[in-house]
Amino acid sequence: MNEQNPAEPQRREFFKQIGAAGVVAFSARDEARLDKLVADGAMDAPQDDLNWQKAPCRFCGTGCGVMVGCKDGKVMAVRGDEASPVNRGLLCVKGYHLPAMLYGEDRLTHPQLRDGDGWKQISWDEALDLIAEKFSSTLEENGPESVAVYGSGQWGVHDGYAALKWVKGGMRSNNLDPNARLCMASAVMGFMTQFQSDEPMGCYEDLEAAEDFVLWGNNMAEMHPVLFSRMLENKRLNPGVRIVDIGTRRTPTSEYADMYMEIKPGSDLALANGVLHLLLKKKQIDRSFINENVVFKRGIEDLDEIGYGCYGENAEKYTFKDKASDSSLEELETFLADYSPEKVAEITGLQAAQIEALATMYGDQGRNTLSLWCMGVNQHTRGTWMNNLITDLHLITGKISRPGNNPFSLTGQPSACGTAREVGTLSNRLPADMVVMNAEHRATAEKIWGLEAGTINPKPGYHAVDMFRALSRGDIKAMWIQVTNPWVSMPNLNRFKRSPGDGRFIVVSDIYPTPTTDVADLILPSAGWVEREGVFGNTERRTQQWQKLAEPPGEAKEDAWQIMEVAKRMGMGNLFPWPEDDWHEAMFEEYRSFGLGIGKDLASYKELRETRGMIWPVVDGRETRYRYAAGFDPYVKKSKGVHFYKAKGYGEKAAFWLRPYHPPAEVPDDDYPFWLCTGRVLEQWHTGSMTRRIKQLHQATPTAYVEINRADATRLGIKSGDRVRLKSRRGELVLPAAVDGRGKPPAGSVFVPFFDESLLINDLTLDAMDCISKEPDYKKCAVQVAKA
Amino acid sequence: MKLLARASLVLICLLAACSDEAVSEDLKISVPEVVGAYKSTASVRADRRLFDGAPPVMPHDNFGANCISCHNRQGMSVPGIGFAPPPPHSNTAPPSAMSRCQQCHIAALSEDLFRENSFVGLRQDLRKGERQNSLAPPVIPHQVLLRENCAACHTGPAAREEIRCSHPERLRCAQCHLQQRSASEFMR
Ligand code: SF4
């Protein structure tokens, strides 16, 4: 700063201004001293005030409000937005370091086309024409199943909606899936199977209203730091608050837990059933609530029939479909006979007394209980089941849709809810909980979009993992990837290795080069975060809008614009009939019309512009903090209690699902004796393409590492920092050891974060999937561990 | 009328400015020898944060100890290392929203960069605390949230003299110093 010392004119200007206002700021002594600081370059000359505007944080699903300070088209600072009901002014270290995320020197600034081993810069017109030409010819030659768009829970609502409309309404394909399939799909299927409507009933105020917190496989201290803070603040003000941490390793979250329950990987299914067993046995269930509001369902439970989607018959295409049958409370009682505390203790590795303690919490009608979960439960070969079971605990005790009593699924990405789930950018979905398999739903969408009846394809497309398998097989020939980095984040990466020139055409839109742009045929530079106008939807159903505040570098353009331009060139311009310089509001209002009047009512664009986000359903300008709850939800006409009005298929009741314990897909054995779990760390966002370019965040976590238990380390002669070789049946990797680091796995298991593109742990992970949601399980596979 | 008021204000200010040298000599704050001894220079301070207002990184290794055992209410001088200033936040004892220091303050384990970054952040501007006139208390030019403990930065042996408080015995700072806010902060 100030190398040329531009301070002097600015300084005079400053004094002139304050002089005119009749204010004298400093004494002569102060002035001389400050002048010297400015001259030394130690301090800035008085600056024009930055322009401070609101925006949601770009990173996690918490959706903190930030005030963004900009000047001359650049972001220069952020601070926590005190007016935001989400974070009330607090951020986490990622949020505070947001501004530098946009200014890595290797930002992509121009479209680039593969040219032999290198790249050649081309114009936007050439790039867009080329994509249109490739997608059109692929469609013509190979049909709608041969094109695909792989998107993101970090897409803004506009981007996702543009992609959905283009793929489903324009190309008549359903090969549209987001990376949210890798993180939230099990939660989606959990809510859909139980309430026939996606997303949690509660809101963040639950964090103050609850007294007992049960964290199911959720390292909230690192993954949802600001929500964790809200929970701890509740505990400060109310010392009776208790936190239970159920996990497969000790994390920073465990340090604040009143009870830490270390379970064997995958045994959470048994634990939840064990708790249900005790609730029934001790008659701590809410019979009148159940009679009024709950139906019992059972699905397919045969292990061989279901499989894991990664080996055996379904190693290539995983098509398992669950089938519901009616069940009852009586049947549940018999079903749960298998889950006595002793039996569950054996499966989980817990003590029976701990299981009883947990059951007592759920069963205590005098206390509010909140269950929280995220990837531990979702990235699970029976993730939908586990989502079901947690919600079951709340249904059977009636602890649901009341402040402080809810099953509250936390989302990972900033708009996994807003874009992936609400817009429905999944291979089987349409906006507002609708699906392509349903003729009525298709007709609704066709009507809103002004398309001919029968346009939308009724056959669901590929889900994420299958999409990449299909790409490797060659069934998909043209693919567009936006805002995500699958060549780091997909499980069992070795399966998807690709060499350019293999007859497939891959377009990647991003803001930085990544291992995914490395394998692309065409790279498009995107505008990021506040370089464009947008909307995100966070975990608590809050839709948040922001204006464009900074200029994108070079020729970078927003993702939605890229899609619309290609669609126009393919003769599908009718899908996007809005003026080129003013379409955000019109597009949002069209999208919003999908949910109006059916309990998925989003706030209007105008309301969103003027507020710090609003929690849907928004009816007559009023938010709904607790869905399905009388007195909170305008769709509930009762005077008290709850009404699960979206679950038409269950007689407007919620479904309680009986779900058994199944073992994980791959379990350690003599050859591969260790469990491998993977995940994120506080400082890095997902694959690190943004956060690693920020000095402070990178230097705090410069490389991936393997957390290993001290006893194992001693036995294997490994010290912290030593190089360790991990090997699975799929790949191997050498990386530094962390003994007694921030996470402490128990003996027999190791943990590796996945943010490091040069140490790809996903070369080792298994692509086993949840049977219903098809979300991969990144948390459990078997490896060898040795000093390298 | 307005003009007149303004003119007289300017006059008063000018008078105040003229007599400033003499007055400030008299009012010079006497500080004990150690005060300021542990003060970091402005550029060192700037190096520890991405921009003015961002949480500083830990300037020392992660000792593995509980942060508030040194960064306690009074702060602590550690011979040979420096002064561990008190946290500017309120309620840092666990459990509380402020008790997980690592949520915002991280330590560098490496000096490498992954990629170059050309971000230019807001720098500290010590002239921002404007006064209505020379006798008026300056406004608080920064966010107060997370900086509730004014004493942490404005008093003690690590306080910079530019912002050192001349009257630490008066404990209710907010009685005279108000936070400056922008209009957009009042939106719903
Ligand atoms: S908690 Fe999430 S949303 Fe909030 S500042 Fe941190 S990364 Fe951003």
Sorted by where each begins, the domain ranges of chain A are 8-44, 51-102, 112-182+415-527+544-573, 185-410, 674-765
Mean pLDDT value across residues A177-200: 97
Q: In the predicted model, what is the mean pLDDT of residues A472-489?
A: 97
A47 with B125: Cβ contact below 8 A: yes
The domain locations on chain B are: 2-103
Two tokens, residue A292: 């009024």
Cα–Cα distance for residue pair A555/A511, rounded to 1 Å: 11
Low-confidence winner among A46-50, A380-384, A612-616, B150-154 (lowest mean pLDDT): A46-50
Query: pLDDT tier at A1 (50, 70, 90 boundaries)?
Result: very low
**C-alpha dist (Å) from residue B187 to A53, A225, A531, B184:** 10, 25, 22, 6
φ/ψ (deg, to 5) at A61:
-70, -10
Query: What is the tens place of the pLDDT at every residue in A590-601?
Result: 999 999 999 999
> What's the rounded Cα separation, in Å, for the pair B164 and B131?
16
Nearest to B125 among A24, A43, A106 (CB): A43
- Specify the CATH number of the domain A185-410: 3.40.228.10
> How far is CA A368 from each of CA A30, A283, A353, A357, A397, rounded to the nearest angstrom?
56, 18, 21, 15, 11
Closest CA to A732 of A782, A669, A692, A660: A782
The C-alpha atoms of residue A346 and residue A54 are separated, in whole angstroms, by: 51
Q: Report the pLDDT averaged over residues A215-233.
A: 97
pLDDT exceeds cutoff 90 at B186:
no
Give distance in angstroms: CA of A120 to centre of ligand 1.
Answer: 37
What are the angstrom distances between the C-alpha of A325 and each of A295, A332, A448, A648? 11, 13, 35, 16
pTM for the whole structure? 0.91
Q: Which of A635, A626, A629, A627 is nearest to A596 (CA)?
A: A635
Q: What is the pLDDT of residues A641-664, one digit of tens each?
A: 999 999 999 999 999 999 999 999
For a substitution probing ligand 1, which of A58, A64, A68, A228 has the most ligand atoms within 8 Å of its CB?
A: A64
Mean pLDDT of A282-301: 98
Cβ within 8 Å of residue A390, ≥6 positions away: A190, A216, A272, A371, A373, A377, A407
Containing A736, the helix (H) or strand (E) segment is: strand A732-739
- d(CA A328, nearest CA chain B) in Å: 43
Other beta carbons within 10 angstroms of residue B50's beta carbon come to 25
In this prediction, residue A141 has a pLDDT band, given cuts at 50, 70 and 90, of very high
Cβ contact, residue pair A76, B146, below 8 Å: no
Residue of the nearest CA to atom 6 in ligand 1?
Answer: A92
- Is A94 among the catalytic positions? yes
**Residues A485-516: b if buried by 16+ CB within 10 A, e if exposed:** bbbbbbbbbebbeeeeeeebbbbbbbbbbbbb
Q: Give the mean pLDDT of chain A.
A: 94
**CA A348 vs CA A54, A216, A220: distances in Å:** 46, 13, 22
What whole-number distance in Å separates Cα of residue A714 and Cα of residue A787?
11
Spatial strand order of the sheet with A614-615 comes to A534-537, A542-546, A614-615
pLDDT, residue A221, reads 97
Q: Which residues are CB-neighbours of A273 under 8 A, at least 6 positions away?
A: A336, A338, A339, A344, A389, A659, A660, A661
Tokens coding B180: 């400056």
Q: Which residues lie below 8 Å from residue B165, measured CB to CB, with a gap of 6+?
A: B150, B151, B154, B155, B159
Give the distance from CA A688 to its chain's centroid: 15
A112-182+415-527+544-573 CATH pick, 3.40.50.740, 3.50.50.60, 3.90.550.10, 3.40.50.1860: 3.40.50.740
Asked if the model's pLDDT at residue B145 lies above 80, the reply is yes
- The span from the first CA to the last CA of chain A, in angstroms, equals 45
Shortest Cα distance, chain B CAs vs residue A103, angstroms: 5
Q: How far apart are CA A372 and CA B7, in angstroms?
A: 63
What span, in angstroms and rounded, lies between the C-alpha atoms of A177 and A170?
16
Q: For B55-82, how does the pLDDT look when each residue is reduced to its tens digit (9 = 90+)? A: 999 988 877 778 998 899 888 887 777 7
Gap from A775 CA to chain B (nearest CA, Å): 29
Q: A51-102: what fold?
A: Phosphorylase Kinase; domain 1 (3.30.200)
Report the separation in Å between the CA atom of A315 and the middle of ligand 1, taken as the mean of its atom positions: 37
pLDDT of residue B3: 44
Q: Name the residue facing B106 among A50, A232, A696 (closest C-beta).
A: A696
Residue appearing with tokens 């009404």: A643
User: Class of A674-765 per CATH?
Assistant: mainly beta
Judged against a pLDDT cut of 90, whether residue A363 lies above it is answered with yes
Does A184 participate in catalysis according to the annotation? Answer: yes
